Structure 1
Amino acid sequence: MTQLLWLRSDLRTSDNTALAAAMACGPTVALYLVTPGQWLAHDDAPCKVDFWLRNLAELSTRLGALNVPLLIREVDDWQAVPDALLKVCREQGVQRLHYNDEYGVNEQRRDQAVTTHLEAAGISVRGHLDQLLFTPGSVQTQSGSYFKVFSQFRKACLAHLSVSLPACEPVPAAQAPLGITSDPIPTTVTGFPRPTDYLRALWPAGEAFAQRRLAAFVEDDLNEYHQRRDLPAEPGTSQLSAYLAAGVISIRQCLHAALGYNQGELDSGSTGVTTWINELLWREFYKHILVGYPRVSMYRAFRPETEALPWRRAPYELEAWQQGRTGFPIIDAAMRQMQETGWMHNRLRMVVAMFLSKNLLIDWREGERWFMRYLIDGDLAANNGGWQWSASTGTDSVPYFRLFNPISQSQRFDPDGQFLRRWLPELQHLSRRDVHNPSAHRSLFGVTEYPAPIVDLGASRARALEAFRNLPDAQA
């Protein structure tokens, strides 16, 4: 029976659950659907789409070595996907479709529509667990519900993993040639301009590179990860998020690499390792939240009472935040980093998100959308989870009365101002003390080209606290 592998966010041949299952069942053809209208609707960044295409080109070569042809078809959005898949199945004599599960509401509705359409035509459909360590719903509270608190979810996951670790699937053996020519991979897609050469060079494509980056991180940086991960001027993080989001590397490969370094220990041994495993489990947690509480992938707050927050409509302040012109160096440097590199340091994602949602009291959804439009690692679950955590509207979120002060955050995590000067050259001449708060020295040091702060931190903090206190369940 001919098998069709529908590739989505799983652009690799090693440890690809659906690929291994398809090739074990019979001769396999792979398919990737280009859906520019859907990508625009989901605010996918041009640099992310370019990254997908570059990884598809690398994947096509690897699939070719397995004699698996890669077909490319374009439809505008997911409404057209069931018919497009059925057409390919009929053209190739396919009797079974395989794909790796995805978890947003739109993704699940799309996959259900595909299953209904193909099974009505006599073609079987099989979804596979690949993005996650655990199937959503398999890690639950004692009352049988999805976890809402990360620490409890983490404890349950570690208990499961201590009993049984999910294995990594090897690259399948090559199949007999099928006599089908792979399609050329598009280099651009309408509506998504090509990123700069500088940005593209930061993110080389292909699973071979992703594996090298993982190995180098484990060897050189993992042991000190807990100490260096909050320092934006240092390369203390794995820089693997874009590869995980596109499925160029798997969560299982990351976990096994960490455990290999830590002599098999999940929750002891190297503090750097256990801290990084926690970050992998945060990623897992937010994807489970998508399934257990689907409203979060429909632009709704996890905590319904926070929908009553009096968000401000402040277009000037929103634009200043977007363009890195708030007058607070750590905010502006982080926003400029994202626009130029397609990535932002995780500590800074929290700082800029809290500044927008609390100091400016602008709806967190504005920030969530803006991030997706620029991040090469944009991922619905992680992005939404991070924004709602920072805005105190989400599951396990930071208490509403906790606000990161952007000046003290800058002083603490970039004490010498190295990161600030990298992205704000107009502040290069300031001392390590003054660079964090140039507004206090505007006339003395002549930093007139850098904007004054757009908000008073004390007054804006009081405004945010008042807004949250007035919610019905603010004290709960």
Structure 2
Amino acid sequence: MQLIWLRSDLRLHDNTALSAAAERGPTVAVYLLSPEQWLAHDNAPCKVDFWLRNLSELSQALAHLNIPLLIREASRWDDAPKVLLDLCRQLKIDAVHVNEEYGVHESRRDAAVSETLKANGIDFYSYLDQLLFKPGTVLTKTGTYFQVFSQFRKVCYERLHRSLPRLVSAPAAQTPLAISSDLIPSNVTGFETPGASLRALWPAGEREACRRLDTFADAQIDYYKNERDFPAKPGTSQLSAYLAAGVISPRQCLHAALHSNQGEFESGKVGAVTWINELLWREFYKHILVGYPRVSRHRAFRPETEALAWRDAPQELAAWQEARTGLPIIDAAMRQLLETGWMHNRLRMVVAMFLTKNLLIDWREGERFFMRHLIDGDLAANNGGWQWSASTGTDSAPYFRIFNPLSQSEKFDAEGVFIKHWLPELAGLNKKEVHNPANLGGLFGAADYPSPIVNLSTSRQRALAAFKNLPSRQDAGGAHE
């Protein structure tokens, strides 16, 4: 008997470990609830709820194939070896199959499980699934992990031209087993169930993920390059939550994009090329996680930036977290995050730069806050994005390049449509005033909106000075850990 241990791969189709297990014989699936570990990793309540809802959908889909889905508790990942060994003994399992996950704790957990099972005569197989390329196979000429995205992308393109990762077929129905599926809990202690409006934005299940992918690839991908930066437009795929939970695979996304672009990565429709690039950014940050494990230990990718004199400013941090900075584009973006579990990608960079540069608050505060609220929270992408914005990361924005929230707002939300949607108290302002109500001196209908908590130009100078005072920048990001 085979056991597939499901984690961030909550789907039937193109699921490498599931198909491999089913090919070898009768298969049972298991999912471990790990609430203490999830709390320690700052997983958002809306994300845990999304996992549970997707598990319910997956359980029904697996039932059609006569594959039972069992639920077990391993509150911390340290408990996983014993919990899985007990289950394997109970069901007389010959082999456990998993899709690889990345990050220091994930790798340690899987190594411990593998060791325990093998010591007891049970095989453990892990498969490349949530990435297009195995970490450690896309390297520089000197055999190190890339630190610059454009060079990484070039090698990925060369590899993709030679051979495209294939989609894996879903397993066929098996002979029914005398094992019943467990009920999927509707909630887990320590994680509040989000409101109906947030849940309605993110319907669970593979069918919904595929519908979003098809709609995007058929109708929107052509406009992606031009519209993805405008938060009031539906210019993005809205697939990130499904990718993070593994309800859809990057291979399925890549194939859909190529199909819409006559098989081209680098020419043809600029929208498709741009979107494939985003899939490769996701890939890049996961490779960074493996090649430079310090980033999953709350450490800066560029070691010399650990010496930055970040400010301890709890009131300003709270104003940022609670969407009351007095800068409409920042506050609108933060309200979008708090109410939907998601934030438009352009605005993620804008609010991150505001926190790390204008407020000079440690990027780790922002990274943690995002993880606690994002339905698509992913350690590699979230850490990569925060460190890019804070100029502490790989391939990051040069420290002197600081987005001005007002010019970003005027450029990407010129009519103020996004701002007025999330900040209805500013609905009475015209499209010029809405970006910076402070110019009105608290009059004319914006009286209940706060004044800016920081002066943009003096705070910019403060950030530049803090970065200039760092020790030598020449050996940035050099050493492996």
TM-score by length of 1: 0.99
Question: Deviation string for 1:244-297 (max 9, x for gaps)?
Answer: 000000000000000001000011000000000000000000000000000000
The one-letter code of the counterpart of 2:146 is F
The correspondence of residues 319-330 of structure 1 with structure 2, limited to 5 A, is 319-330=318-329
Residue 300 of structure 1: aligned partner: 299
Question: Deviation string for 1:349-379 (max 9, x for gaps)?
Answer: 0000000011000000000000000000000
Hey, what's the Cα distance between the residues in 2 that align with 1:138 and 1:25?
27
Residue 40 of structure 1: aligned partner: 39
The correspondence of residues 100-249 of structure 1 with structure 2, limited to 5 A, is 100-249=99-248
- Offset at 1:473? 2.1
- Offset at 1:171? 1.0
RMSD in angstroms over aligned alpha carbons? Answer: 0.7
The one-letter code of the counterpart of 1:163 is R
Hey, what's the Cα distance between the residues in 1 that align with 2:271 and 2:162?
22
- Offset at 1:47? 0.3
3-state secondary structure, aligned to 1:133: coil
Question: Deviation string for 1:2-47 (max 9, x for gaps)?
Answer: 1110000000000000000000111111000001000000000000
3-state secondary structure, aligned to 2:94: strand
- Offset at 1:170? 1.3
> For the structure 1 residues 381 and 308, does the alpha-carbon distance in structure 2 shift closer, same or farther, using more than 3 Å as the test?
same
Q: Structure 1: where are the runs of 5+ without partners?
A: none
The one-letter code of the counterpart of 1:22 is A
Hey, what's the Cα distance between the residues in 2 that align with 1:170 and 1:412?
45
- Offset at 1:452? 0.4
Question: Deviation string for 1:207-249 (max 9, x for gaps)?
Answer: 0110001000111110010000000000000000000000000
3-state secondary structure, aligned to 2:4: strand
Q: Does structure 2 conserve the Cα–Cα contact (< 8 Å) formed by 1:232 and 1:347?
A: yes
Identical positions, percent: 67
Hey, what's the Cα distance between the residues in 1 that align with 2:24 and 2:290?
29
Hey, what's the Cα distance between the residues in 2 that align with 1:246 and 1:418?
31
Hey, what's the Cα distance between the residues in 1 that align with 2:178 and 2:161?
46
Hey, what's the Cα distance between the residues in 1 that align with 2:445 and 2:158?
58
Residue 279 of structure 2: aligned partner: 280
Residue 447 of structure 1: aligned partner: 446
Question: Deviation string for 1:149-193 (max 9, x for gaps)?
Answer: 000000000000001000101111111111110000000100111
TM-score by length of 2: 0.98
Hey, what's the Cα distance between the residues in 2 that align with 1:119 and 1:273?
44
Q: Does structure 2 conserve the Cα–Cα contact (< 8 Å) formed by 1:469 and 1:475?
A: no
Residue 377 of structure 1: aligned partner: 376
Hey, what's the Cα distance between the residues in 1 that align with 2:153 and 2:415?
35
Q: Does structure 2 conserve the Cα–Cα contact (< 8 Å) formed by 1:47 and 1:375?
A: yes
Hey, what's the Cα distance between the residues in 2 that align with 1:325 and 1:308?
29
Hey, what's the Cα distance between the residues in 1 that align with 2:359 and 2:474?
22
Hey, what's the Cα distance between the residues in 1 that align with 2:473 and 2:172?
58
Q: Does structure 2 conserve the Cα–Cα contact (< 8 Å) formed by 1:3 and 1:95?
A: yes
Hey, what's the Cα distance between the residues in 2 that align with 1:67 and 1:9?
21
- Offset at 1:475? 6.4
Hey, what's the Cα distance between the residues in 1 that align with 2:78 and 2:178?
31
Q: How many residues align?
A: 475
> For the structure 1 residues 311 and 124, does the alpha-carbon distance in structure 2 shift closer, same or farther, using more than 3 Å as the test?
same
Runs of 4+ in 1 over 3 A off after TM superposition: none
Hey, what's the Cα distance between the residues in 2 that align with 1:230 and 1:425?
22
- Offset at 1:444? 3.7
> For the structure 1 residues 299 and 443, does the alpha-carbon distance in structure 2 shift closer, same or farther, using more than 3 Å as the test?
closer
Hey, what's the Cα distance between the residues in 1 that align with 2:50 and 2:253?
20
Residue 65 of structure 2: aligned partner: 66
Q: Structure 2: where are the runs of 5+ without partners?
A: 476-481
- Offset at 1:95? 1.0
The one-letter code of the counterpart of 1:40 is L
